[in-house]
Structure 1
Amino acid sequence: MTSLRWGVLGAANFALNHMAPAIHAARGAELAALATSNPAKAVPFQAFAPGLKVHDSYDALLADPAIDAVYIPLPNHLHVEWTIKALQAGKHVLCEKPIALSDADFDALIAARDKSGKLAAEAFMIVHHPQFQRARELVQGGAIGALRHVDAVFSYYNDDAGNIRNQANAGGGGLRDIGVYTFGAARFVTGAEPLAVPYANLRLENDVDVFAQVAADFPEFTYAAIVSMRLFNRQQVVFHGEKGLLQMTCPFNAGVFDQASLRLETTAGTVTIERFPAVNHYVQQVENFGNCVESGAKYPCPLEFSRGTQKMMDMVFAAGNK
């Protein structure tokens, strides 16, 4: 297996704490370069990747012929611009979510990907976790009978005005930060797309959504979600069928919020619990990305899938602005 040489654009805390170590640990991947204008920010990266090359600008890293793929953890409003620049530089691209801020942004992203012939994708790590593969198998395989309702919740508390998640001009807000997970989880597991969003209660602070209560209609089931940056930590997704109930008790921050597990209860009077204690979905994501680059296999979360989540988010914003 050929090792993919990765570069990281920016010394973001999330890159330092999660994705850079995942790239370093993944099979078939090498954490080779980092772009930052502040050499001090490179030091903690070099602590676990001593051979890391440091570039003083994003453009310099993109010009490095030794780099095969780029991971982009920049603020949300910069994702489209730098994803396209990286593709034009001949790099494969894994960009943090949300990769775009509107459905229309995907036209340029997909065109740049297709023209380059490179793999470009949103870093939507949850679909790489085996709990989501298993949940999809159970729901679509009829383990809970006909699916009639999905509940999703994701919340944490962050009122730091200096944090980009609380800054409108950086594309902040709870929906763009974590709503992508509550929407994308339902779409991935069920394979269905929303028909309408009849209700969205959005609470804004400084033009950034800090609480959202959403109702959506899918072809065969209803959907309800709560997403907030101003509530105590909570996350769960529940798939409610005519003959059973499937609960994902730690769907989004597996191994951090709690241990990933699935709880299946059916009319047969059985309760089955499956646990996934040892999986790092960031490492899985990097390895899947590399495998798809090498083999040409279909990536689990292509831009077209991410576009579907963005379409749903656009529907939510439209409903909330009525």
Structure 2
Amino acid sequence: MTRKVNWGVLSTAQIGTESVIPAMQRGERSAVVAIASRDGAKAKAAAERLGIARPYASYEELLADPAIEAIYNPLPNHLHVPWTLKALEAGKHVLCEKPLALDAAGAQQLAEASQRTGRLVAEAFMVRHHPQWRKAKSLVEAGRIGEVRAVQTIFSYYLTDPANIRNQADIGGGGLYDIGCYAINTARYIFGGEPERVIGLFDNDPVLRTDRMMSGLSAFGGGRHLAFTCATQLVPCQSVEILGIRGRIRIEIPFNAPAELATRIVVDDGRDLAGTGREIIDLPPSNQYTAQGDAFSRAVLGEQPLEWGIADAVANMRVIDAFFRSGRSEVWERP
């Protein structure tokens, strides 16, 4: 019988109950056996709906369960560090939603706790587990579009509800934390390196005080740039273009690829603007949350190394910190 890792989930957050948990339940190496909420009735209702054996009326009770090996933490952003720390100290491995922390110092705390406890921590950037990103990366590495010089990304949605945690400045709301982090993370993935300097332009909501639109420019050295816009009050849009000196790659639904639908990436050799040099590469349906959960579980089981661990998360947070500093200083900042 295939060995599975026993997972517990901190909170009944929508991202968990609607997307991540059902996906992990379909995994080969992941078994979600417990869920906790500060409201026992919510935990019980979620457990019944999702077929989870053990509901807990507190996070502490779940962390005290010796059968739980790994924790998925989808709590609001400001609770990522404290509860991931508690989970590590309780002897659990942790997959934490992005952003892992509110700054690099918080992420470094988790790195030190991971080393001290011998438990794994990873930031839940599920997109890197999707075949479309794997394919794009392999095409870049194979030189299909020549030397890559630019990545251009747009990620936006429209949300003005002040009760939504994404719109609450005091607990880590705003566009850069919520979705700009994806633009940074995926550019680092494609370039295979870290930006040397960044500059950001922020438009903050005067009432909510969150960054409702933010545009960033990152210089990766060697003439390589990331340019992106993220927004929480703009028409819904997702787009990534990877541009090399001999062609370009377009990822059509880069971040929220529907699990039940095939995806495609477009490779264009740039011979003309009409697109006669295009090749469409179709990829089968894939649930990136399932793949992410199983990859982490396999690392817990010692079957394979963790591809992106806590060091990757600290590096991403350093870039986010630099963008926020740039928003205040209005000059280039170094991560």
Shift in Å at residue 238 of structure 1? 0.6
Determine what percentage of the aligned residue pairs are the same residue: 37
Q: How far apart, in 1, do the equivalents of 2:11 and 2:50 lie?
A: 17
Residues 1:208 and 1:257: Cα distance change in structure 2 (over 3 Å): farther
Summarize deviations over 1:23-67 as a string: whole Å, max 9, x none.
Answer: 211112211111113233231442231x52111110110001111
Worse-matched range after superposition: 188-197 or 39-48 = 39-48
Shift in Å at residue 212 of structure 1? 0.3
**Contact 1:146–1:242 at 8 Å: present in 2 too?**
yes
Give the TM-score normalised by the residue count of structure 1.
0.95
Summarize deviations over 1:167-223 as a string: whole Å, max 9, x none.
Answer: 0111111110011111111111220211111x3110112321110011121113122
- 1:137 alignment counterpart: 138
- 1:305 alignment counterpart: 312
Equivalent residue of 2:238, what SS? Answer: strand
Structure 1 stretches of 5 or more lacking a match? none
- 1:291 alignment counterpart: 298
Q: How far apart, in 2, do the equivalents of 1:121 and 1:115 lie?
A: 15
Shift in Å at residue 299 of structure 1? 1.5
The one-letter code of the counterpart of 2:220 is F
Equivalent residue of 1:5, what SS? Answer: strand
Q: How far apart, in 2, do the equivalents of 1:164 and 1:121 lie?
A: 22
Worse-matched range after superposition: 238-247 or 205-214 = 205-214
Worse-matched range after superposition: 95-104 or 216-225 = 216-225
Q: 1:224 aligns with which of 224, 227, 232?
A: 227
**Does 1:213 pair with 2:220?**
no
Residues 1:90 and 1:247: Cα distance change in structure 2 (over 3 Å): same
Say how many residue pairs are matched: 320
Residues 1:284 and 1:131: Cα distance change in structure 2 (over 3 Å): same
- 1:240 alignment counterpart: 243
**Contact 2:99–2:178 at 8 Å: present in 1 too?**
yes
Q: How far apart, in 2, do the equivalents of 1:169 and 1:276 lie?
A: 40
The one-letter code of the counterpart of 1:263 is V
Shift in Å at residue 160 of structure 1? 0.5
Q: How far apart, in 2, do the equivalents of 1:229 and 1:78 lie?
A: 21
Within a 5 Å distance, the mapping from 1:5-154 to structure 2 comes to 5-42=6-43, 43-49=45-51, 51-154=52-155
Q: How far apart, in 2, do the equivalents of 1:123 and 1:67 lie?
A: 19
Q: How far apart, in 2, do the equivalents of 1:17 and 1:218 lie?
A: 36
Give the TM-score normalised by the residue count of structure 2.
0.91
The one-letter code of the counterpart of 1:174 is G
Shift in Å at residue 303 of structure 1? 1.2
**Contact 1:5–1:67 at 8 Å: present in 2 too?**
yes
Residues 1:264 and 1:145: Cα distance change in structure 2 (over 3 Å): same
Q: How far apart, in 2, do the equivalents of 1:296 and 1:256 lie?
A: 25
**Does 1:315 pair with 2:322?**
yes
**Contact 2:259–2:287 at 8 Å: present in 1 too?**
no
Within a 5 Å distance, the mapping from 1:173-212 to structure 2 comes to 173-197=174-198, 199-205=199-205, 206-212=208-214
Residues 1:34 and 1:67: Cα distance change in structure 2 (over 3 Å): same
Residues 1:54 and 1:45: Cα distance change in structure 2 (over 3 Å): closer
**Contact 1:127–1:301 at 8 Å: present in 2 too?**
no
* RMSD, aligned CA: 1.7
